[in-house]
Amino acid sequence: MKYFENISDLQEKFNVQLKHPLIDIRRYADILPMIPMELGPTIFGFYKISFIKNFNGYMEYGKTKFNGNNGVLYFVEPGQSYSCTSTEPWEGYQILVHPDIYKSHLSEKNINTYDFFSYDVNESLLLTQDEENTVSFIMKEAWSELNNKKDDFSIPIVLSYISTLLNTSERFYARQFTTRKTMCNQLSGDFFQLLKTYYTHNENSSQQPSLAFFSEKLNVTSNYLSDTIRHHSGKSALNIIHDYIVEEAKMLLTSSNQTVSEISSVLGFEYPNYFSRLFKRKTNLSPSDFRKSVKSI
């Protein structure tokens, strides 16, 4: 496993010249002769944004692999394992951004606010032709600014282009959620089915249902699952999980003689006050007050 903490580490390894120590933009046509066509498992200490076309091979990050010839935009966050194998050169652009650059440019939206960096490769952005053109144009302009301009305005302008690219990518992902409606509906349906039966069919039901549990069961990342659920329901997956817990609690408070502490334990809460806090936030009543109100009817 190779680890590159800084972008400058790549300069030493592959003998490429950097224009800036915290940001680098390359055309693949320019760098492929200098880097291997097969890159084993590698971890970066910085962000990687890649737009690729005519790729003939496999890329792997997270737990799955991707191959294809159409335009694809994918995102790798610091600490995420990445590998690549190809039999032919491919086209496109690569942007590397070290998070430290935002310490000097606080006016730009920080790159760490975009959820899709933690998506896995099977959740990459599959671009339409118009989207390919847009992405290619933005990356070309950012590349040109970084490589050809030499004044104090260049880095803020480049970061502005990157921000535009990331904001546009959010729009494209919304389109992808819609156009891949059947797949997303299936994912949503599987999530709700697992949630509905969590306390009756799950061997770990003594623990609270969590987004991590469902994403692992459904073989997607937590952020991708949450964004899919939000797109189709208007609510986050975590919010829906909490609603489910409260509904289960209402049933137990109404139909059993268990204490609030016992019910909180059954629902997977280590501390009863955490359960009571969630219940009151959702219902405006404490569990005890809810039980009294039901019995008084």
pLDDT tens, residue order, the chain (297 aa): 788 899 888 777 777 788 889 999 999 888 877 776 677 788 889 999 999 888 777 777 654 445 555 688 888 888 888 888 877 788 899 999 999 999 888 777 888 888 887 776 556 788 888 999 999 999 999 999 998 877 888 999 999 999 999 999 989 888 877 766 665 677 888 888 888 888 876 665 578 889 999 988 888 888 888 888 887 777 888 888 998 899 889 888 988 889 999 999 989 898 889 999 999 999 999 999 888 887 665
- Domain boundary assignment for the chain: 2-179, 183-295
pLDDT given for residue 205 in this prediction:
57
What Cα–Cα distance (Å) separates residue 194 from each residue in 67, 171, 229, 260, 262?
A: 30, 29, 14, 25, 24
pLDDT given for residue 15 in this prediction:
75
Nearest Cα residue to 211 out of 243, 239, 250, 247: 239
Q: Cα separation of 32 and 38, whole Å?
A: 11
pLDDT given for residue 143 in this prediction:
95
pLDDT given for residue 63 in this prediction:
44
pLDDT given for residue 49 in this prediction:
93
Annotation: CATH topology of 2-179: Jelly Rolls (2.60.120)
pTM for this predicted structure: 0.65
Which residues lie closer than 8 Å to 235 by C-beta, 6 or more apart? 229, 243
Annotation: CATH topology of 183-295: Arc Repressor Mutant, subunit A (1.10.10)
* Helix intervals (H) in the chain: 7-14, 28-31, 129-148, 154-179, 181-196, 198-201, 211-218, 222-233, 237-255, 260-266, 272-283, 287-295
pLDDT given for residue 64 in this prediction:
46
Q: Which residue has the tokens 């055309």?
A: 27
